[in-house]
Each structure stands twice: as C-alpha cells, then as structure tokens.
Homo-oligomer: A and B are copies of this chain.
C-alpha cells in the first residue's frame, strides 16, 4: 500500500519507503523529502499500485473522489488513460513542463522536388457540375495530357487504349483552366470554382495542396481506393511506361484544413485505410502557418516520453526524452490549427510527436508524426505512421 495525502488539490507522499519506491519509478517531484504527484500520477498509483488516499482528517478518498477534484481540467481523462497505457508498457513519461530546450531528436524527411510547367494546349471540355468531372472528346489532346503529364484518365482506367474520351477530375479541371488554356463548353473558371466550393467542404484547401504537389512535378490523383483525398507518384512517373506492369503509388495525402474540426475517430479512419494498404500517409495542413506565437510556458501537449534503448529503457536519470505525447480520446474533436500548433511545439523541442488515442474501451493507439521538407512549399506536410511503441 502506498499512502497518498490529499490537501486541497495537492497530493503528496511522505512515508520514507513509499518515497523511495516512487522515486525509483520516476513518479512525482521531490521537494524536501516529500514527493508531490500530478493528478495522473496519483490516479495511476491508486489504480495500479494499490495507492490509498486520505485527507488530513483521515477521511478516505476513492479513485473517483480524487478524479472528481480534477474534472474541470478537460484533458484529465485523456491524459490519465494515455499515461496509464505508457506506464503499462513499462515505459517512463514525465510532465511536459519538464521539457527543456531542444533535444535534437527529430528527423526532417526530405522529399524531392522538380520544376513543372505544362504546355499551353487549346481545347474544349464539357463540365458535369453534379459529378465535378470534365470530359474531353478531342482524343489527341486527351491522350497527350494523359501520356505526357498523367492528367486525366484517357480511355479506360488501366486500359487507356479502350475508348477515346478523357475524364478530368475537378482538380485537373481547374488546373487546366488556369494553366493549360482549356475552356469549357458550358462553364467559366469562376463558376467551376464556386460549384466545387459549394459541393466539397474546404475545397480551396484541397486545391492548394493539389497545385502545390503538381507544380513540383508530382503526379497527384484520387486516393479513393485508399480512403484518402489523394495518392501521389514521384516526379517522372508515367502511366505509359508501366501499362504492362501497373505502377503503384506508395504515398497518399489527406488534407486537414486549419479551420476544420474533426472527430478523432474520423481522423484515425483515414490513417487506418492507408496503413492497411501499406501506403505512407501524408497529412497536409495548407494555408499560412499560424501567426500566433507559441507560448512555451503553456504547452498544449501532454507528456514528455522516454522510450526504449538497446537493452532497456530510457529514463530521466540516464537518457533524454524522444517524443512529446498528444493525449486524445476517440470521441473528441481535433482541429487542423490545433494540430499544427502542437506540431510546432514539437519542432521547438526537437522531439517527434506521438499522438496517443484512447478509444471507448481505453485501448490506446499510437501514431508518430514526422515533418516533411518539400522544397519550395509554403505549407506543412507530415508523415503519420501507426506504431506499437
């Protein structure tokens, strides 16, 4: 039994044997022989290490009695459940406030970038506003766009010799209206943009991402089959080099607009599909980086995570932290701006972000987020990987 003493919202441990045991386990903060615990630490000790909590008058406080003292802290449960899971794995984690300086433990993933310019064609398409698709019936143009730039789908998917019509998606349509001298039989650029924006939430954000990659030489097509907004091929990819052996994309892009608030479960769903088809998942946060400056004294993230090392685990005594944990639960919302700010916080610390999502059964799933360097781009891109720490 470990005896916890409650005084208002302060929880401390004073008995010598308990103090030693907790100190060895890297719990709490030591001041003059007494250990002061955070709410998550206290709850964990009560749940798992047979801690009992009393106030000065000797009244016993149950787990929920203690938890309810911290109910006003919106993050208390997400933090407690993810704290517990990390501890349950035999790993150490500490309050985020202990983060100190830049640990230099991040990797910047450098993506290639080439210059892309499309020839100025001159041709006409027919736009279908209900489906956001343009058909081009000039077979010469359709074929050239497809073979030289992999723009549109000429003929049939995976069988471009079959049929003579080219189908342009809404991103290709706008791109060609802007840069390829296409006109439409039944619509002007402005109208197309308006229809697309009305139809698809945050469409202009998605288009920004499309043009950003396209203009750096990437081929960017629908990610429908992989449950994401886009899939990409690296500069130089062509559908004709590979028609006998189809070229598989290995990266998918999902756009997370800054103003979009999304259920964690929906956010995670997209990553799941990508994982199941063995694609690298790229999260795109378009638009200008947040002007609000970060306040290192008020971190938005939750814990400083120590991980494994050869033959053991890292500890605050010997070793440095590797990740910052962002603690979430399945039915919460997350916004693009919020996520971008949290990621900026990680950059400052030189630590990678570990998103920890506790589902409705308190089973925790982990995602590591690494920053991508796409030379020339103003937007933020990250690789997200589902891992088991």
Q: Spell out A's residues near B (CB within 8 Å).
A: 47-48, 62-64, 67-68, 71, 74-78, 81, 84, 88, 124-126, 128, 130-133, 135-137, 153, 156-159, 162-165, 167, 169-170, 185-186, 199-200, 221-222, 224-227, 263, 265, 268-270, 272-273, 276-277, 329-332, 357, 359-363, 365
- Contact, CB under 8 Å: B362 / A153: yes
Specify how many copies of this chain sit in the oligomer: 2
Cβ of A359 and Cβ of B64 under 8 Å apart?
A: no
Give bound CA distance, A77 to B77, whole Å.
Answer: 49
Shortest C-beta distance, A143 to chain B (Å), equals 14
Report how far A363 CA is from B246 CA in the complex, Å: 14
Partner of A227, one of B128, B226, B269, B363: B269
What are 7 pairs between A and B in contact, CB < 8 Å? A48-B162, A48-B163, A62-B137, A130-B332, A221-B360, A222-B360, A224-B265
- Find out whether the CB atom of A167 lies under 8 angstroms from the CB atom of B362: yes
Chain B contacts of A71 at CB under 8 A?
A: 126, 128, 186
What are the residues of chain B within 8 A of A272 when measuring CB–CB? 225-227, 273, 276
Q: Which of B159, B162, B273, B332 contacts A269 (CB 8 A)?
A: B273
Chain B residues within 8 Å of A186, by CB? 68, 71
Contact B47–A165 (Cβ < 8 Å): yes
